[in-house]
Amino acid sequence: MEEQGFLESIQQVFPSQEQDIRSYSPLSLAFLGDAVYELVVRTVIVRGPNRAAAKLHDMTVRYVNAPAQARMVEIISPLLTQEESNVLRRGKNASPHTIAKSGSRKEYLRATGFEALMGYLYLTGRTERMLELVQAGMQGLDGERS
């Protein structure tokens, strides 16, 4: 028997009325996408060699900050479908009430678009696609740093 995915498990344990994904605000998608993206990055990092928590945090912050996520948008943009580009654009054009301390307003808006895309792909069950894009972005960042 095939094990169901994480999202399906959440939906089964915490049933709620289905909502059209297109009705979610881009900032709601970004709110969720921020957490999902950070969980992916932390999982990738923890699965490597055993390290102290402070080192794990430092490694995570390399990918989970507005400037890095804004750069990931540039890296993955050529790979996006029209639908994904539209979600990214909606997130980028949203009007957040705060701006990250770690980057410029432009970087923060791009990062918000990236997080909205991550939230959208997660909620639509396209986790493999989400992981493919995260991998491409992380590899792109790593290539720039080496």
% of the chain beyond a pLDDT of 90: 75
CA-closest candidate to residue 122, choices 45, 49, 37: 37
In a domain, 128, yes or no: yes
CATH no. for residue 105?
Answer: 1.10.1520.10
In a domain, 100, yes or no: yes
Sign of CA dihedral 117, 71, 43, 97: negative
Domain that includes residue 94, residue range = 25-145
Asked if residue 8 belongs to a domain, the reply is: no
Q: Which residues are catalytic?
A: 34
Convert 39-54 into a string of H (helix), E (strand) and C (coil): HHHHHHHHCCCCCCHH
Structural domain includes residue 6: no
Residue 13 lies in a domain: no
Q: Is residue 59 a part of any domain in this protein?
A: yes
Statement: residue 80 has pLDDT above 90: yes
Domain count for the chain, please give it.
1
CB 46 within 8 A of CB 56: yes
Q: What share of the chain is helix, strand, coil (3-state, %, to 5)?
A: 70, 0, 30
What predicted TM-score, i.e. pTM, was given to this entire model? 0.91
Q: What is the pLDDT of residues 95-106, one digit of tens each?
A: 776 766 778 889
